[in-house]
Structure 1
Amino acid sequence: MVGADGNNLVFLLCTPRSGSSLATVMLQNHSEMFATQEMWFLMSLHDLREPPRRAYGGGAILDRFFNGVLPGETFEEACRSFALQAYNGLLRGGGGADVIIDKSPRYYYLLEFLDALFPRSRRIWLIRNPFAVLSSYKKIGAARGEKIDLEALLGRSDFEIKAADLTVGLFRYQRYFSRPDPYAFRLHYEKLVAEPQAQLSEACRFLGKEYEEGMEIYGAGKSDAKTDLFFSMGVGDPFVADHSAPHGDSVHAWKEVLTKREAELYGRMLGAKLFAELGYAEELAEAEKWTGVRFDPEPDAGVLKRLGDQLAEATGCRWQADYRMRSDLAAGAPADLAPEPETGGRAADSELMQLRMTVRALEQRLEDGVMEQRRLRSQIHAMRRKADWLKSAIPFGKRLSRLASAYMSGSGGKK
C-alpha cells in the first residue's frame, strides 16, 4: 500500500506523445504493480486554490478560503489524505498489487506539489527524441481526421496547451531531473522498444521488484482483469493496442512525417544543448544535415517566456524558477514524519500562521474597500456630470417652452 511519504507510489513523468502508454501497459503487467491509462487527478486537487467560475458562484470566497484562511500545510495534508485514499482504494482492487503507477504526462506543471505531498515516491522520467514526439502529434492528428499545422501550432501568439507541452513542459522535466537522485530513474523510449526485457528489468530493480517473464507482452491474446481495465479507459495512445509487443517502427519515422520547416522551427526553439543533454546529439546532427541549419546551443528564450507566461495565466500556476527534484523529507514531508521542532517551536509556528492569515484577511478587506471607493467615486463623478448637464440644459429648455407658448397663442389669435 502507499505510505504517507509516497512509498510504493510511482510517478511516470514525461511530456505527452513520449510513449508513456507503452511503458505503463508493460509495467502494469507485473503482478505487484497497478496502473490505469491516465489519472491526472492531482491536478484537480492542486487547482482547488485557483477556483474556476462555477454555476453557484462564490469564486472570490473560495479564493479567500484557499489562499487566505486555510494554511498551506493544512491544504497539502488534505490533498495528501485524499490522494492516499484514492491510490490505496485502487490497490485494494488491484489483484494483489502493492505498487501503483500514476502516469499523467502534464504533471510537469505541479512538480513542486508532487514533492511536497509525496517526497519519497519513485519518479521515472520517460525520455524520447523531441523530433519523434513532435511527429507523433502530427501522426495522431491525422489518425483522428485532424490536420495539425505544427508550424502554426509552434508559432501562434495565443495559448495552446500542446505548444506548452512541447516546450515549457519538456524544459521543466529536464531541469527537474537534472541532478542524480536515488528516487529518480531515466528510461529512454528508444532503448525500451529495442531491448524491452533489459530496460524493464532495470526499471523493476529501481522499484524494488524483480522482472517477471513476459511483462513486455501486452496486446492481442493477453487478457486479465488488470489489462482489461487498463484498456477500458479509452485514453492515452490509441495505437498501443494494435500490437502485442514493443516495436521500433516509430523510432525513425519523424524524418518521413515532419517537414524540413517543422524540424527547423522546433530545433531552433529547443536549442542544441537540450538534445545533447537528453542523449540525442546524433538525431540533432541528422536534423541539421537534413534541414541545412546549424542550431544554436541555447533555446529561443523569447518563445519559451511567452509560452510560459501564457501557461501561467491560463492555469494560475506560479513555479519556482529552475525547480529541481526534492526527495528529502525536509523538502515537504508530512507533518507526522518531519523532525520534532524545538520546545515552543510548534506553538510559535501556529501563532505565526494565525498572524499571517489575519494580515492576509485584512489586506483583502482593505483591497476590496479601495476598489469599492473607486467604484463609488466613479459613480459620483458620473452623476455630477449628468447633474451639471441638466443644469445647463434647464434654462434653455424654459426658453424653448416660452417661445412655443407664444407661438401657439399667436396662432390661436389668427384663427
Structure 2
Amino acid sequence: MQEASDIHPNVEPMQGPCPLALIASQPRAGSTLLQTMLGKHPDVVSAGETWLLLPLVYALESRTHGHPMPFDGELADQAVDDFAKSMLPGGRRSIERAMATMVNGIFDQARNAAGQKILIDKTPRYYRIIDEILRILDDVRMVLLIRNPLAVFSSILDTWIRGNWPYIAVHRDDLLMAPVHLAVASECGDQRLRTVRYEDLTADPDSVLADLQRFLGLQPTGGLADYGEATQRRFGDPKGIGLHRSANAQSIDKWVCRAGQDPVHWRMLDDYRQMLGSELLNRLGYDDRQLADQLAQVRPKAVGLVPPLTTFLRSPVRSKMRRSLKSRIRLAQAISQRPTTPLTKSA
C-alpha cells in the first residue's frame, strides 16, 4: 500500500450522481448495516458482496498482493508486463482501461436491470486494493468504514472463531493489513473517498447518512436509519443485522463486556491492541490509552495462562501444539469461573 501522499493527490471533486459506489472495511466492522441503510434509498440498488474486483486486480498484480495462485504469480506479472510494454500502445494502462470498461459494463447491466441510479457493492476486503481501484476506475465513489479494531476482532471471535482459536490465523490479513490500508487511504485526499466511523454511524445515523447521500450525489431522503427487516444474503452479517430494525449504539462497547467474561477473549484483544500500536490506532481515530484502560477495568482472572495472540496467528498450528494450547485455554477459563475465596485470619 502506498503512502497517503502518493495516491491520486490531484483528483478534482466530482459533480452529480455516480453510478457505482463501493464500501471497504475490516470484515465485521458494520458494512452490512451501512449497506442496508443506504439500500433503502429509492435510487439505490445494493449488490451485497460481489468480490468482482478482487480476482480482476489480482490477475494483473498477483506478485504485489501475494495471493495464492495455481501458477507462478511473479512469472505471470512479468509476462503481462512484457506483453503490455511491447505490444500495447498505452502499455499496462491499456489493460486497465479495458478492465474499467468491462467492470463498468457489468455493474451497469445490474444497475439498469434494477432500474436504479446507483449500485452499491459492499465487499469489505476491497481494503486490499483501494489504490488499484482508484487508478483503474475513474467514475467511482468509495466509502471507507472504520470501526474500533478491538470491537472488530471481538466480533470475529464470537462470529467466526467460536472457540476454534487456531482459526484466527485465517484472518491475519483482516486483523493486521486492513487497518493499515484503511488508515493510509483515509489520509490520501482523493475526493472519491469518504471515511465513516461505525461509532458515528450508530450514534448519529441521520447526520452520517445525510452526508453520504450528498457524497454519492443522491437526492436527500430521510428515514434510512430505520431500515426495518434486512435482506438476508449469503455474504455479510449473519447475526446483528437481523436482531434490530434500526441503528443500535449499544454495540459500540459490547467488546468491553465480552472481554471481561473470558480470559482468552481478553488476552486476544489486549495483545491485538499492542500489536497495532498507539500510532496506527490514533490514525484510525482511537486512543490506545483509553482502550487499555477499558480493558484493565474488566481484566478477568487467569489471563496469564492464556497463550499470546502471536501463537494463533502462525499458520498452520500443528496438531500436537493445538492440543497443548486447548489445555491451557480450558484451564484459564476454568480458573476464571471459580468464585473468589475471601482470605480469613487463622486462629
TM-score using structure 1 length: 0.58
Residue pairs, 1:205-220, within 5 angstroms: 205-220=214-229
Displacement, 1:97?
Answer: 1.6
In the alignment, what sits opposite 1:83? 103
> Percent identical across equivalent pairs?
26
1:368 aligns to what? none
Choose which of 35, 38, 47 in structure 2 pairs with 1:24: 35
> For residues 398-413 of structure 1, what are the structure 2 equivalents within 5 Å?
none
- Secondary structure, counterpart of 1:186 in structure 2: strand
* Structure-2 separation of matches of 1:214 and 1:279: 28
Q: Residue 67 of structure 1: CA displacement? A: 3.7
Counterpart contact for 1:38–1:104, Cα < 8 Å = yes
d(CA) in 2 for partners of 1:175 and 1:81?
A: 27
1:120 offset after TM fit, Å? 4.4
Q: 1:61 to 1:286 in 2, by over 3 A?
A: closer
Residue 255 in structure 1 maps to residue 256 in structure 2: yes
Shift of 1:60: 10
In 2: Cα distance, 1:35 partner to 1:289 partner: 37
| Equivalent in the alignment of 2:69 | 52
Q: What does residue 278 of structure 1 align with?
A: 284
Pairing of 1:219-234 with structure 2 (within 5 A)? 219-220=228-229, 231=232, 233-234=233-234
For residues 43 and 235 of structure 1, the distance between their equivalents in structure 2, rounded to whole angstroms, comes to 15
| Mapped partners of 1:69, 1:219: distance in 2 | 52
Per-residue CA deviations over 1:312-352 (Å, capped at 9, x if unaligned) read xxxxxxxxxxxxxxxxxxxxxxxxxxxxxxxxxxxxxxxxx
Secondary structure in 2 matching 1:202: helix
Aligned to 1:14: 25
Residues 146 and 182, structure 2, Cα contact 8 Å, conserved in 1? no
Report the Cα offset of residue 262 of structure 1.
1.6
2:275 to 264, 269, 273: 269
Whether the aligned pair in 2 keeps the contact of 1:37 and 1:235 (CA below 8 Å) is: yes
Could you tell me whether the CA contact under 8 Å between 1:32 and 1:97 is conserved in 2?
A: yes
Alpha-carbon separation, structure 2, partners of 1:127 and 1:16: 10
Counterpart of 2:235 in structure 1 is 235
Deviation at 1:64, TM superposition (A): 6.3
Equivalents in 2 of 1:118, 1:63: separation in Å? 20
Counterparts of 1:208 and 1:10 in 2: how far apart (Å)?
Answer: 11
Is 2:151–2:255's contact at 8 Å kept on the other side of the alignment?
yes
Is 1:36 the equivalent of 2:53? no
Sort the Cα spacing of 1:61 and 1:260 in 2 relative to 1 into closer, same or farther, 3 A.
Answer: closer
The whole-number CA distance in structure 1 between the counterparts of 2:277 and 2:22 is: 27
1:101–1:284: structure 2 CA closer, same or farther, 3 Å change rule? farther
Any idea what the Cα deviations from partners look like across 1:55-92, whole Å, max 9, x if unmatched? xxx99996665343244122212211210111101111
Whether the 8 Å CA contact 2:203–2:248 is kept in 1: the answer is yes
Q: 1:184 to 1:65 in 2, by over 3 A?
A: same
| Partner Cα separation in structure 2 for residue 32 and residue 289 of structure 1 | 42
CA deviation profile, 1:195-223 (whole Å, cap 9, x unmatched):
22121111111112233132122233xxx
> Which residue in 2 is equivalent to 1:246?
247
Cα 1:272/1:93, change in 2 over 3 Å: same
- Work out which of the two has the higher radius of gyration on C-alpha atoms and give 1 or 2: 1
The answer to whether the 8 A contact 1:260-1:291 is kept is no
Aligned amino acid, residue 133 of structure 1: V
**Which amino acid is the alignment partner of residue 174 of structure 1?**
A
Q: 1:62–1:178: structure 2 CA closer, same or farther, 3 Å change rule? A: closer
Q: Aligned ranges for residues 175-186 of structure 1 at < 5 Å?
A: 175-186=184-195
Task: Check whether the contact 1:48–1:66 (CA below 8 A) recurs between aligned residues.
Answer: no
1:174 maps to 2:183: yes
Deviation at 1:161? 4.3
Alignment partner of 2:250: what SS?
coil
Structure 1: 5+ residue stretches without partners: 155-159, 221-226, 293-302, 311-415
CA distance in 2, matches of 1:61, 1:171: 28
Which secondary structure does the structure 2 equivalent of 1:123 belong to?
strand
Matching of residues 117-128 of structure 1 within 5 Å: 117-128=136-147
The CA RMSD over aligned residues, in Å, is 3.0
Q: 1:64 to 1:141 in 2, by over 3 A?
A: closer
Cα 1:44–1:255 shift into 2, 3 Å: same
Aligned in 2, Cα 1:63/1:185: closer, same or farther, shift over 3 Å?
A: closer
- In the TM superposition, what are the counterparts of 1:136-151 in structure 2 within 5 Å? 136-141=155-160, 146-149=162-165
Q: Does residue 192 in structure 1 map to residue 171 in structure 2?
A: no
Structure 1 residue 252, shift from structure 2 partner? 0.7
Give yes or no for contact 1:26–1:217 (8 Å, CA) kept in 2: yes
Moved over 4 A (4+): 58-65
Q: How many residues align?
A: 268
Alignment of 1:372-391 (within 5 A): none
- Following the alignment from structure 1 to structure 2, what is the Cα–Cα distance between the partners of residues 257 and 47? 37
Aligned residues of 2:210 and 2:220 also touching (Cα < 8 A): yes
